[in-house]
Structure 1
Amino acid sequence: MKEFPKILLIYTGGTIGMVQDYATGQLKAFDFGKLLEQIPELYQLDCEIETISFPNPIDSSDMNTGHWKLLVDLIGKHYNSYSGFVILHGSDTMSYTASALSFLLENLSKPIIFTGSQLPIGDLRTDAKENLITSVQIAALNLEGRPVVQEVCLYFENKLYRANRTTKMSAEQFQAFDSPNYPTLGISGVHLRIKEEYLWRSESHKKLRPHTDLDNRIGLLKLFPGIHPSWVHGLLGNPEMKALVLESYGAGNASTESWFIEELQKAVDRGLHIVNVTQCPGGSVLMGKYATSAALAEMGIIDGKDITTEAALTKLMYMLGRDVSSKSFKTIFETSLRGEMT
């Protein structure tokens, strides 16, 4: 008898898990144990599907590091029993959670596909069914007994992305996500096409190493014309903060005003890890290309290259949680660990 891949579907919360009560017009969560009743098309896939849900499903706006640890624990516990995993998650913070898991699951060799929807499963025009069905199909893909996808991905509206390359672009369109600096990994049309040349492959053949130590003593500073010196001073001078993502202009450019450069220098001197990323949806930091970024390069600020803000923040939490030494912190951050930067 043919043995089918086993897929574990993990529901964290979000719009995709809602159905409409037609008597009241209100949305309510449905029992994921009865998933096949809602989407009988899943029976047509050549795989076995089992489901598990957060004890208390949440809106993704309430997602935090504790929930990330719960997901890592769930996957670690069930890793050897399943061929792949599909995580249903609200779209608002999906890129953050998916990026975090890409770092926390070291030596991953199975697919973890994040998906969700803009409309609930019970809605007449829902995008939930296609997103879920195709995500399960991708998670079940195998070639000669090995999973085709072996990384953390995000699938939404016909496109498969590397999770730590994504950012949410729209609150209204079904095409809610984009991967500005890396090609899509797959496209679902009449045929499902996976672009294997772009897939991530770990060079290690070691066992999965789940990590749950995260340090969230980090900050985010988005530059804008007229930013107030005292606000910057207060943020950069916070003694509890260990690292900061600096969202600069264009190719990594920032103000050259003396007060700003002095504040950054003082922060770097006291050991704050500062990562320079661009505010632009696409493109890369090129520190030193323009005079407005030369000072940042000279003081040893970390080059974020083309990493997303979501991936930069979660990578910092992961590295701080691993207690990476100050001496090697910059070098390791500027190295692609899970395909998160070019």
Structure 2
Amino acid sequence: MNKKPNILLIYTGGTIGMIRDFKTGALKAFDFKNLLEKIPELQLLDCNIDTVSFNEPIDSSNMKPEYWVQMAEIIEDNYTLFDGFVILHGSDTMSYSASALSFMLENLAKPVIFTGSQLPIGDLRTDAKENLITSIQIASKQENHKPLIKEVCLYFEYKLYRGNRTTKINAEHFQAFASLNYPDLAESGVHLKINKEYLFRSSLNKNLIVRKNLDSNIAIIKIFPGISPQVFQSIFNIKNLKAVIIETYGAGNCTTEAWFINLITQTIKKGIHIINITQCSGGSVIMGHYETSRELIKAGVISGKDITTEAAIAKTMYLLGQNISGKSFKTIYETSLRGEIT
């Protein structure tokens, strides 16, 4: 007789964990210990579900690296006991958290599925139940008695995405997320279709390593026509700054004015990493494709290729936390570690 998969539900906070008091109309925290009573459909799933919650659930707008470490430690402490993990999280910073954990959980061989909702779990038109039920179902999927999914994912509104490829694109629609540079990993309809060819394949027979050192001494600049030298100078002179992510135009293009190129060159010589990512929703940085980005190559700017802003921030914090030397940092950054770049 096959053993049912064990799934751990981790509640960090967010709308999905709220329920409306219909007398007052106010939202209050939902007790996930009574989950099966409130959502009896979960009993139809062919898995065992246990729950754990942050001692003080947070609004995802207050997300920070310390909470990423807390999530990672819950998974680390329970890794041998469970076959999959579902993290309930507010949607606003979900892509950041999914990206961060994708780097922190090295040699991951089990599913970690982030999900949430736009409406509270008790509302009449809520998307919370479907997101929650399907996320647990996906996390419990096995092949030859081993987890089918072996990466950090995000499930929302009938689609499963690679977590570090996602961006929140809408604050009002149920279809709140998109993965514009990588195909969907699964789609939920009448049947649950898993696109196996797009799943991440982790290293075999290696133990989970949890990387908890994250360095947040970074900044991000979105360039725009007319941006002044003073903006760059003030940011580049921040004390203890170690890396700057610059969101450039199109395929990685930016101004070629002497002041800009000189500032970039001087900053890199000081040991501060500069990463070039596109401010477009989809597409990739291709430095050197246009004349306007060739000077950046000469200066030693790192190409973020088709990485999302969320993943770029998480990857930068992660690599800085590993104390990687300057030249190696650039090489590793431009390499796909968890399927975050093509």
Q: Where on the TM-score scale, by shorter chain, does this alignment land: which range?
A: over 0.9
> Aligned partners of 1:274, 1:228: CA distance in 2, in Å?
18
Deviation at 1:228, TM superposition (A): 1.8
Deviations 1:290-333 (A, max 9, x none): 11111111111001000001101100111111111112110000
CA contact (8 A) 1:118 1:128 kept: yes
Amino acid at match of 1:94: M
Range moving further from structure 2, 29-38 or 10-19:
29-38
Deviations 1:191-221 (A, max 9, x none): 0000000000113421000111111001101
CA contact (8 A) 1:90 1:117 kept: yes
Amino acid at match of 1:316: T
Match of 1:11 in 2: 11
Deviations 1:223-257 (A, max 9, x none): 01111211111101224110111100000000111
Match of 1:256 in 2: 256
Deviation at 1:170, TM superposition (A): 0.3
Match of 2:44 in 1: 44
Match of 1:168 in 2: 168
Match of 1:130 in 2: 130
Q: For structure 1, list consecutive stretches of 5 or more residues without a partner in the other structure.
A: none
- Percent identity over the alignment? 61
> Aligned partners of 1:63, 1:239: CA distance in 2, in Å?
23
> Aligned partners of 2:119, 2:55: CA distance in 1, in Å?
23
> Aligned partners of 2:277, 2:232: CA distance in 1, in Å?
17
Deviation at 1:259, TM superposition (A): 1.1
Match of 2:87 in 1: 87
Match of 1:61 in 2: 61
Match of 1:177 in 2: 177
CA contact (8 A) 1:156 1:177 kept: yes
> Aligned partners of 1:38, 1:95: CA distance in 2, in Å?
28
CA contact (8 A) 2:265 2:300 kept: no
Match of 2:247 in 1: 247
> Aligned partners of 2:209, 2:42: CA distance in 1, in Å?
31
> Aligned partners of 2:283, 2:79: CA distance in 1, in Å?
36
CA contact (8 A) 1:217 1:243 kept: yes
Using the size of structure 1 for normalisation, the TM-score is 0.99
Amino acid at match of 2:274: I
Match of 1:33 in 2: 33
Amino acid at match of 1:331: T
> Aligned partners of 1:203, 1:14: CA distance in 2, in Å?
33
Match of 1:220 in 2: 220
Deviation at 1:263, TM superposition (A): 1.0
> Aligned partners of 2:239, 2:292: CA distance in 1, in Å?
27
- Aligned CA RMSD, in angstroms, stands at 0.8
> Aligned partners of 1:317, 1:170: CA distance in 2, in Å?
26
Deviations 1:7-60 (A, max 9, x none): 000000000001110110111111110111221100000000000000000000
Amino acid at match of 1:178: A
Match of 1:203 in 2: 203
Amino acid at match of 2:265: Q
> Aligned partners of 2:271, 2:255: CA distance in 1, in Å?
21
Using the size of structure 2 for normalisation, the TM-score is 0.99
Q: For structure 2, list consecutive stretches of 5 or more residues without a partner in the other structure.
A: none
Deviation at 1:103, TM superposition (A): 0.2
> Aligned partners of 2:10, 2:203: CA distance in 1, in Å?
27
> Aligned partners of 1:198, 1:33: CA distance in 2, in Å?
35
Amino acid at match of 1:51: T
CA contact (8 A) 1:236 1:264 kept: no
> Aligned partners of 1:53, 1:273: CA distance in 2, in Å?
37
> Aligned partners of 1:228, 1:333: CA distance in 2, in Å?
28
**SS at structure 2 position matched to 1:138:** helix
> Aligned partners of 1:254, 1:205: CA distance in 2, in Å?
45
